[in-house]
Amino acid sequence: MITATVKYNDNYTDIEFPCSEAYLSAKLMEIHVDDLSSTTHYITAITEPKELSFLKDRLVNLDELNYLAKRMDSFFGDEETQFFEAIKLEHFTEMKDLINLTFNLDKYTLIKDVSDMGKVGREYLLNTEGCIPAHDEDNPKYAQIGRELLRSGHGIFTEHGLLFPDQNRPFEELYNGKTFPAYIYDQCLFVGEIEYEGQTEFIYLPDDERAIQKAFRRLGAETPENCSVILTDFCSEHNKVFELFKDILNNEGIYKANSLAQTVKTFVNPQDLKKLSAVLEYADVSDSESIAALAENLDTFGYAQEINDYADLGRWWIDNHDELQLSIVLEDYFDYDQFGSDIHEEYSGTFLADENSGYVYIKYGRSLQDILDRDEDEGLSMGGM
């Protein structure tokens, strides 16, 4: 976490990063910032961590600071200490360098304990290569690597141990000082990739609209219509949902797609996305309002997976309804096919094929039209208020 004191005119507020766009906007409104789209503000103090206190008494881009805090929040083990020691070694003071350093920690190995050469070797390889075999700790090669590392003379004494910068590994600049590299911090349904005049920015749906607007501004795009926006990073198991969202993006725009993603995330558990995909196929809709209505009413629907015929449906129905019990003695004589046919006639469900194979029906005596027309009466009532 990074805690910064931000000043605007004669007003001050403490902001904790990483944070949401809503929280950041609320904190800036506390100090009466006139233009909330402005991202650069004056920082008078860094309360935490003290190693970043060099950022005080200067103008700082708060979006950059928030992105840096998200990256630092992902550190594990000794990576935070390693990060701070690398900052001191390289004399980094600019936000661009700090953000890029979070992507280059494999260039700097921090060895705190030199008493075990095998451990030294393993820590070095783990940092530079990213992984080592789980059950290989007794391999003598690690001790050899550790001894060679310590004898190299490249170790730099720090208050936390020896820091070994890899001079042969280039420092990669993933952040160009304008558009942020892709990085998923919060759980999202989709990653949107925006391209404009040869530059790329990323958005994570659902998100606050202000975050999306900022992404377009970082690209220098006046409107979303001037950009190419594609959706990526969605589980292939739910292709129906993915394809419908791409249609919403193309036909209704990024903000409608984002609003719909928020509805889906609010009302549908990740494990129920397959059910939503099946219900969307059952309902055969493609507009955002209808998809939102189905997501909000997903519990109204029943979904029996991998059901192909009436007999399958009959067996599934008995197995999943506690009030129905069939004696083992009678199982061989029970007409599952006829029972499944009766269920189908009563509930008017649909057998699905392909990726959503199974059976979808409405459980509570409502009609599909009732669910899709849910806002009609509400709209009339609100209009008369």
Residue 253 within a domain? yes
Same-domain status, 322 and 362: yes
Residue 181: asked if its preceding bond is cis (omega within 30°), the reply is: no
Residue 219 within a domain? yes
**Prediction pTM value:** 0.84
pLDDT of residue 381: 37
Residue 291 within a domain? no
Tokens coding 274: 């397959």
What confidence tens digit (pLDDT) does each residue in 356-376 have?
689 999 987 788 998 898 555
Residue 160 within a domain? yes
Q: How far apart are CA 53 and CA 352, in angstroms?
A: 60
Say yes or no to pLDDT of 380 above 60: no
Residue 339's alpha-carbon distances to 92, 141, 331, 334, in angstroms, are 73, 68, 13, 9
How many domains would you assign to the chain?
A: 4
Residue 289 within a domain? no
pLDDT of residue 123: 78
Say yes or no to pLDDT of 90 above 90: yes
Output the DSSP codes for 240-297: HHHHHHHHHHHHH-HHHHHHHHHHHHHH--GGGHHHHHHHHHHHT--SHHHHHHHHHT
Averaged over 43-57, what is the pLDDT? Answer: 96
Domain boundary among 282, 309, 335: 282
Same-domain status, 115 and 194: no
Strands 190-196 and 228-232: antiparallel
pLDDT of residue 357: 82
Residue range of the domain that includes 251: 190-282
Same-domain status, 57 and 135: no
- What distance lies between CA 151 and its chain's CA centroid? 43
Residue 173 within a domain? no
What confidence tens digit (pLDDT) does each residue in 311-351 have?
999 989 988 887 777 666 566 668 889 999 999 999 989 99
